[in-house]
Amino acid sequence: MRPFRFGVALVAPGSRAEWMDKCRKAEDLGYDVVGVVDHLGRVAPVPALLLAAEATERVRLNTYVLNASFHNPVLLARDLAGLDQFTGGRLEVGIGAGYVRAEFEAAGIEWGTPGQRFDRVVRAVTELERAHEPRPPLLLGGRGDRMLTFAAEHADTIAFTGTAPGAAEGRLALAGPAALAERVDFVKRALGGRDAELNLLVHFIRITGDRRAALEVAHRLVPHLGADELGELPTVVIGSAEAAAEQLLRTRETLGVSYFTVVEEDLTRLAPVIEKLR
């Protein structure tokens, strides 16, 4: 069973000092990975990770995840090779197909079919593997059979968003436990015995003694699931630090997920759980 890893996906741009302080804070809180998202209006991934490397000493640095449609695959491979070099080999590359149609339209990029967006991921990975030997560790993920099969063939880390089909185009809809377990089982079969790390995005975390109140808050954010249903999801972590740690241990035991990522607003919320699991 793999040891735990914990990552945070940072999203908010700011001043140089603010950004460096935030990265140092993540390292000090025990995170293993500091990542950046790739969305319009958010922090620019490549310069942000270069500055994160300057601010930190230990953490790995990742893109969680680059939208393959936003980047020329040849130039992207060049930039990532340089970023890996200048971060001292700490880079981990996450690449995805993109899911917010409005961002494509704002950038003047064709939305295309799911197959076309998948093909852009394949081209990006192909160029990365060609331009950089050995390439940085690669994270791929998604929900569909085609993407997860490709991830099982190429990725060091396979990421599950834990979302349901209603999450398309930026709407949050969380998959139930059975649906997530089915996707994990699909990947394990596709791996065919090859070893890969499994990652899960935790969408809602509250460390609290009032579990019921926190579940009601989560229900307002994800109204298609009841509060009790939300309490059963691996992507929702609510309760005391001890209970949250036990939940992540169960998730690792039952699904094989050992790498958990939270978004920036949950940076400090996960910290006591990380401490318990060390």
pLDDT digits 0-9 by tens, 196-249: 999 999 999 999 999 999 999 999 988 888 999 999 999 999 999 999 999 999
Contact between 76 and 46 under an 8 Å Cβ cutoff? The reply is no
- Can you tell me the distance from the alpha carbon of 138 to that of 140, in angstroms, rounded to the nearest whole number? 7
Nearest to 95 by CA among 47, 145, 156, 48: 156
Beta strands at 91-96 and 138-141: parallel, antiparallel or unpaired: parallel
pLDDT digits (tens, 9 = 90+) for 107-159: 999 999 999 999 999 999 999 999 878 899 999 988 999 999 999 999 999 99
**For the residues 259-266, what does the mean pLDDT come to?**
97
What is the identity of the amino acid at 224? H
What is the token pair recorded at 236?
């929702």
pTM, entire model: 0.96
Region 247-268 average pLDDT = 98
Instruction: State yes or no: pLDDT of 168 exceeds 80.
Output: no
* CB neighbour class for 246 (10 Å; exposed up to 12, middle 13-18, buried from 19): middle
